[in-house]
Amino acid sequence: DVKVTQSSRYLVKRTGEKVFLECVQDMDHENMFWYRQDPGLGLRLIYFSYDVKMKEKGDIPEGYSVSREKKERFSLILESASTNQTSMYLCASSFLGQGRGQPQHFGDGTRLSIL
């Protein structure tokens, strides 16, 4: 069974802090994704990565950066946290398929509060 593990379920940080969210997957997936989930807005893609050291911006990358130094680990970084980044953050991974249709596997999420 695929396992996507996010390092924290709940996190509280202060405005201006640099925040790291970590995600690890154990299925040798090429693709990894970071989303934020907000009521009424659904899931919005922040960044994704299809290989080590490769990254692409999603729909809402402003205020975030990512790091993928190893295939199994994908980190989301809030460079200077702000209150509007209070949200649920979801990590996902998937195989790099020959075509489309590869399902994404999600972690439990990290509920981040910025005070």
Instruction: Write out the residues near other proteins by the rule CB under 8 A.
Output: 4, 31, 33, 35, 40-45, 48, 50, 56, 58, 90, 92, 94-97, 100-109
Query: From the CB of 15, what's the least distance to other proteins, in Å?
Result: 28
Residue type, 103: P
The nearer residue to other proteins, 75 or 109, going by C-beta atoms, is 109
Query: From the CB of 33, what's the least distance to other proteins, in Å?
Result: 8
The nearer residue to other proteins, 18 or 44, going by C-beta atoms, is 44
Q: Are the beta carbons of 4 and 103 closer than 8 angstroms? A: no
**What is the rounded distance in angstroms from the CA atom of residue 67 to the CA atom of residue 53?**
7
The nearer residue to other proteins, 12 or 96, going by C-beta atoms, is 96
Continuous segment of H or E residues that includes residue 43:
strand 42-49
- Furthest CA-CA distance within the chain: 44
